[in-house]
Chain A
Amino acid sequence: MIKVILITGRSLDQGTSKSIGKFSKEYMEKLAICELDPEDLKSLGIESGQNVKIKTKYGEVIVKAIESKQAPHKGIAFMPYSMWANLLLGSSTNSSGMPTFKGIEADIEIVKEGKIMDLNELLEEKIGVI
């Protein structure tokens, strides 16, 4: 398990795959991910492409760990804006109007079991509709 600071943000892949369709294979492949620094991947003892569980005090999600092309950023995990990332965020804005989408403490661990849920599964499991 490693401790990281989670940053969510835009990515080129997010923008292009969103136009292909939010329920498309491309969208899930490009967004249900977490970009990690090569050293953090090493401390977890995993290779790029393996699944990890990310946990914050607000929630948890399983996504694919990808070696970051925008490294070095040891200790920082990056996730593109999406429902997968938003499972890890708190809803309070501390009266600012804006929830905190960046700079959140998170734990990352390898998962032996459990798979990455697609958007329909997230809607059913985490939102409780459909």
Chain B
Amino acid sequence: MKTINNVVCSFCGCLCDDIEVNIENNKIVNVKNTCSLGLSKFLNYDKHRILKPRIRKSKEFVNVSLEEAIDECVKILSNASYPIIYGWSNTSNEALRIGMEIAELIGGVIDNTTSVCHGPTIIGVQDIGESTSTLGQVKNRADLIIYWGSNPLHAHPRHLSRYTALSKGRFVKTRKERKIVVVDVRKTATASIADIFIQIKPNSDYELLSALRYAVNNGEIEQNEVAGVPVEKIEELAEMMISCKFGALMFGLGLTMSPGKHRNIEAAIALVTDLNKYTKFVILPMRGHYNVTGANNVTCWTTGYPFAVDFSKGYPYYNPGETTIADIIARGECDAALIVASDPISHLPIESARKLSKIPIVTIDPHETPTTKISKVVIPSSYVGIEYEGTAYRMDGVPLRLKKIVDPPDGIISDEEILKMILSKLRGD
């Protein structure tokens, strides 16, 4: 049995880098240090795999060679007048970098799943800037942590033990020295272990953030409650925020997906900016998929924009609300799609999924999903961080190297290698 240490978990944006994996005969037999999400991925990655490239011919799928599948993909992409290229948060930066070249070459729109998770966060940050730090700083220094619209015990289970409530920092060492506040519409698992839980009415985050800003700026709120929260509680929280030494506001999709969207984020960032008049305060998004942050970064370094980049004019053009995937599909404008490491049929509102199903889709993915089932071409790939190496960005923007720990099934290559083949065919190399 072989043991590999310091493996990075490729499930959520925490990218825990202390995983121990035991391997026997090219099979993962034991995993230590992950949460149940990571454990489930490491122990099940080899199930429900697609092992052969396939093309849909009339109603039925037919297994084909990799070359044939690539040829069909190239045909579909070259014949399209407004193709979309989407996914990317579950693969490496290296794969996406090739994807960017493909998008430019075919004049398509390239977008990543940020579009339907923290897109509003990015718009908010672009509008007014942000006060940020690494998770290491939070672990070592933060004595006040606020989780807003985020339930890390379900979505990022080790966030609390590695970076916040239960972590041992250099200057803030114990749980007692940290105050944890949870703001949410439900008393989530995370809320149950917080010092203070603030239950807010759905769709009223903007109001509560504004009231907090008012209180932080010494205003007297002339109401009994805001967003279902008694004013005394709002004032108490404002006081806690002002008087902490280092505060961190960690927010999730509760803020980005609720009405208000990027306005909610702007209000949260503005609150943190106000707090920096009194103390040190940072704001960090809780990013979901393991490399969604990398998808933003690679898109940014290649085009200047973080997601939803449209190359149809011959240069990168970005306008969320217009060039975002959800809008393009809802308007029925795209006529082909290349999907990499993502399952939009499961994750878009039904009407959009229906529209997407009407155009030829090429999907590159290791396993079977509703999107692979309705695709015209399916090319199976290997898992980055298990069967192939690559770089990913942790949720705070720190890049980490993902290892190859076992061999992929016979004939299965990585997203990066498949995309390189597509690119070179498109170029006519």
Interface string of A53-69 (1 = CB under 8 A from B): 00000110000000011
A114 proximal to B (CB < 8 A): no
Contacts of A68 in B (CB 8 A): 186
Contacts of B191 in A (CB 8 A): 70
A48-98 residues at the B interface, CB under 8 angstroms:
58-59, 68-73, 76, 78, 81-83, 86-87, 89-93, 95-98
Interface string of B86-115 (1 = CB under 8 A from A): 000000000000000000000000000001
Contacts of A130 in B (CB 8 A): 373-374
Contacts of A5 in B (CB 8 A): 202-203
If over half of A's interface residues share one DSSP class (helix, strand or loop), that class is named, otherwise mixed; here it is loop
The residue from A16, A98, A101, A129 contacting B40, defined by CB atoms under 8 A apart: A16
Besides A21-B44, A70-B187, A126-B350, 4 other CB < 8 A contacts? A10-B154, A19-B43, A86-B348, A92-B330
Min distance, Cβ A65 to any Cβ of chain B, angstroms: 16
B157 proximal to A (CB < 8 A): yes
Could you tell me if B11 and A71 are in contact, using CB atoms closer than 8 angstroms? no
A1-54 residues at the B interface, CB under 8 angstroms:
5, 7-12, 15-17, 19-24
Contacts of A120 in B (CB 8 A): 373
A97–B187 Cα distance when bound, in Å, is 29
Nearest 5 CB-CB pairings of A with B: A97-B324, A21-B48, A97-B320, A95-B321, A89-B349
Contacts of B70 in A (CB 8 A): none
Could you tell me if A98 and B257 are in contact, using CB atoms closer than 8 angstroms? yes
B76 proximal to A (CB < 8 A): no
Min distance, Cβ B232 to any Cβ of chain A, angstroms: 20
Could you tell me if B153 and A20 are in contact, using CB atoms closer than 8 angstroms? no
Q: Which residues of A contact B (CB under 8 A)?
A: 5, 7-12, 15-17, 19-24, 58-59, 68-73, 76, 78, 81-83, 86-87, 89-93, 95-103, 119-120, 122-123, 126-130
Could you tell me if B119 and A97 are in contact, using CB atoms closer than 8 angstroms? yes
Q: A58-B349, A129-B374 are in contact. Are A73 and B203 (CB under 8 A)?
A: no
The residue on B at minimum CB distance from A20 is: B44
Contacts of B368 in A (CB 8 A): 21-23
